[in-house]
Amino acid sequence: MTKEKNVLLIFARHPELGKCKTRLAKTVGDAAALEIYKYLVERTAEVVKNVKSIRQVWYADEVRQNDMWSSDFFEKKQQVQGNLGQKMQDAFASAFAAGAQKVVIVGTDIHDLDAGVIQEAFDKLNTHDLVIGPATDGGYYLLGMKTLKKAAFQLKAWSTSSVFMETIHALKTEKISILERRNDVDYYEDIQGLPIFETILKKHK
């Protein structure tokens, strides 16, 4: 690992018709959901390029070299099998084992993600054990820590509206910084009225 000790993990999957944003697709259709996901992934890639850290893309499916995640900016890794908690714990453990001092993870579903809030997360770890960014759906869009806290990854259920609160409870003995809430795109209601998404939807009507 280089002298840079901040590591940003990005969990992503390849945009494929019928395999992404399936809850959104039930309302807007597979084609529109795919285009929306492509937009979210491409925007995330551009945003995180501006974060001063080692950047690792962890693929839910096979690693691909020639895609929107340029090897000039991103290391590429494969997620392990298991639930989301097991996948995240493995990625965090891998980063710490390689010498990371601070590790932050984000996904590709936050349309209002910006480099500033990710940098804020790294900065908060100077004075806190963990940092977490709550999502509007009850989950979280960002999690960061400076040592591996396995309790964060051992929830009974994932992808529910109580994930954020359950995580906070599991880590109640730690000093936690909570970031501002952001909008996680899973359902039509999450994008309704937002111009960029309305433009995409009009193309598929």
In angstroms, the CA 46 to CA 38 distance is: 12
Structural domains in the chain plus CATH codes = 6-203 (3.90.550.10)
pLDDT reported for residue 85: 96
Evaluate whether 56 touches 73 at the Cβ level (below 8 Å). no
pLDDT reported for residue 3: 52
- Crossing angle of helices 195-203 and 30-48, in 10° steps, is 140
pLDDT reported for residue 1: 44
Nearest CA among 62, 145, 32 for reference residue 96: 145
Assigned token pair, 123:
């900065």
pTM of the model: 0.94
In angstroms, the CA 113 to CA 117 distance is: 7
Note down pLDDT in tens along the chain; length 205 residues: 445 699 999 999 999 999 889 999 999 999 999 999 999 999 999 999 999 999 999 999 889 888 889 999 999 999 999 999 999 999 999 999 999 999 999 999 999 999 999 999 999 999 999 999 999 999 999 999 999 999 999 998 888 889 999 999 999 999 999 999 999 999 999 999 999 999 999 998 8
pLDDT reported for residue 2: 45
In angstroms, the CA 102 to CA 130 distance is: 10
In angstroms, the CA 203 to CA 127 distance is: 47
